[in-house]
Amino acid sequence: MRNLGRRSNRKQLSFVVVAGMVMAMFAATMPATAATSAAAATSVRTGGDTSAEKPMTEEDARKALDAAKKVKRSQGVRGARQVVPGRHVSGRPDATIALTDLWNAKDSLGRSSKAAARELLRRPKALTQTCSDVICVHYTPGKGGDKASVAYAKQVRDVVTKVHKLYVKAGYRKPAADKAVTPGKVDIYLQNLYDEGYYGYCAPETKVSQKAATAYCVLDNDYAASEYGSSNTPTENLRVTAAHEYFHAVQFAYDAGEDRWMMESTATWAEDEVYDSINDNRQYLAYGQLEDQRKPMDNSSPSNLGIYGNWIFFRYLSEKFTKKRGDLPAVILGIWNRTPSTYSTTAIRQALAERGTTLKREYVRFAAANLAPSKTYSEGRAYYPPVHDGRKVLPAKRQTVGGKFTLKHLTYASQRLVPKKVGKGWKLRVKVDVARTNANAAVVSVFRTDGTRGVYHLKPNRKGIATKTIKSFSSKRIRKVEVTFANASSNFKCGQGTAFTCHGTASPDRATHRWWAKTYR
């Protein structure tokens, strides 16, 4: 989902208030969000087992209804909205996610509430349409708040048709089309979404299998620069919104109850793959693990914009595994192909196993890559600079320093060691104690003054101990050394009312790692 707001520079991030966002996520306004809102999402399962499912409660269904009501209410008083980069409305649900949650929850509602849910999920109205061979754009010409020109409606038709065909050529399922309004085609509606604070949204409509559903989408009726600003042109806003939202329609064809963090992260990834030159998704990097690595990657709480910034993880995978199907990297397709039978992190593990690797291995490599984005990502020079969790300056004297990090699942942390006025002959020995080595890992990155970098993946013994010696730790040769720990724990006990994968708890979750650094000659 794409919600509305203004961009701000990085210095403003600490004091602006969250508001209308390109894709603001709802996923954790309930005790168990997203899939918990779904009738099939309160299952208690581990290791990807989706067989044990139980109905959601009417109380949780009512919470989904209340959230959807907030989406549909009038937002006509523009002065009431405060904005930040990421364009997320603080405390207000994302339309795609809120309507999807309501759709999943509707069967658990009481009689009167079901009627309210049907009204909220009802399609918009439009007077006419223009169609291609795969989609129809419904719009209202002439006068009125939702008016759209014939030329613009045709532009939307052509853009969404291109996006549709690109996804299908890349091997993704076609969005399931309805059988009533325009049989066999996906419907797109044009409305004035600016007054509601959104760029666009999609919603599931009719169940076509145990988990999949048809979809319709709503886009703005002009993306006028007077409303949406000049950071992007109206056409650019249309293109990236169409690519992002239509990917949600694709996702519904797999599993409308899939984990929301992966739905939003991969939709944000997709918009940049389809329209690489627009780069609208870079604004989210300040919230994802490129900058905030201590927050679990799968955290779908409403205050966490990281689910959008964590598109960078899927960019890492798609730049590492470059094989394409059609015009898109095939590795993300491999993940989505597995989602109908499991939850997000298991789907990722399985897709990586098919490529001869593991999530633990790739997650720690992802952590190391984020220490030098300009060297490891194709567009990394335009990304935010790397951050660290601890910094120690080491002068030319014999000493041993140390510390520890306690990491939650799917997080990482780095300790920076910097030589200060250190001459020839000095060495640095790094020792680590890695907890739970089945899911946790450590890496040492050596940044040299000549601009080169060495990355050393440590191999702990049975007790979790590993060492690495930098034989020339002089200030003239070494700029810094980073000791990085990563917790790739991704197995979950589901249905525990959390904002994480399958609303579960990672098993195991927290891990405490220790490090020591000794300077000597």
Tokens 């009204």, residue located: 119
CA–CA separation, 489 vs 288, rounded Å?
Answer: 18
> What CA–CA distances, in Å, run from 109 to 37, 117, 380, 426?
11, 9, 47, 70
Q: Nearest-5° angle of CA 88, CA 93, CA 94?
A: 65
CA–CA separation, 74 vs 76, rounded Å?
Answer: 6
Length of the chain: 521
**Cβ neighbours of residue 9 closer than 8 Å, sequence gap 6 or more:** none
Q: Which amino acid is at 2?
A: R
CA–CA separation, 332 vs 407, rounded Å?
Answer: 26
Report pLDDT for 60: 80
Report pLDDT for 296: 97
Q: φ, ψ for residue 104 (rounded to 5)?
A: -70, -30
Does a cis peptide bond (omega within 30 degrees of 0) precede residue 340? no
10's tokens = 């990085």
**Cβ neighbours of residue 317 closer than 8 Å, sequence gap 6 or more:** 329, 331, 332, 352, 362
For 8, the 3-state DSSP assignment is coil
Contact, 140 vs 127, CB < 8 A? Answer: yes
Count of C-beta atoms within a 10 Å radius of residue 68: 29
For 515, the 3-state DSSP assignment is strand
Count of C-beta atoms within a 10 Å radius of residue 333: 19
61 sits in the region (left: phi over 0; alpha: psi -120 to 50; else beta) called alpha
Tokens 């002089």, residue located: 474
Contact, 341 vs 50, CB < 8 A? Answer: yes
Report pLDDT for 132: 98
Tell me the DSSP string of 268-305: HHHHHHHSTTT-GGGGGGGTSTTT-TTS-TT---TT-T
Alpha helices in 275-379 (DSSP H): 306-309, 311-320, 330-336, 344-354, 359-369, 373-376
Report pLDDT for 51: 34
CA–CA separation, 470 vs 479, rounded Å?
Answer: 12
Q: Which amino acid is at 301?
A: S
Contact, 504 vs 493, CB < 8 A? Answer: yes
Per-residue pLDDT 10s for the chain (521 aa) are 665 543 333 333 433 333 333 333 333 322 233 333 333 333 333 344 443 344 577 888 888 888 788 776 543 322 222 222 334 444 455 788 788 888 888 888 888 898 888 888 889 989 999 999 999 999 999 877 889 999 999 999 999 999 999 999 999 999 998 888 999 999 999 999 988 788 999 999 999 999 999 999 999 999 999 999 999 999 999 999 999 999 999 999 999 999 999 999 999 999 999 999 999 999 999 999 999 999 999 998 867 889 899 999 999 999 999 999 999 999 999 999 999 999 999 999 999 999 999 999 999 999 999 999 999 999 999 998 888 899 999 999 999 999 999 999 999 999 999 999 999 999 999 999 999 999 999 999 999 999 999 999 999 999 999 999 999 999 999 999 999 999 999 999 998 989 999 989 999 999 999 999 999 99
Contact, 196 vs 1, CB < 8 A? Answer: no
Count of C-beta atoms within a 10 Å radius of residue 301: 18
Name the β-bridge partners of 45.
none
Q: φ, ψ for residue 447 (rounded to 5)?
A: -100, 115
Report pLDDT for 72: 63
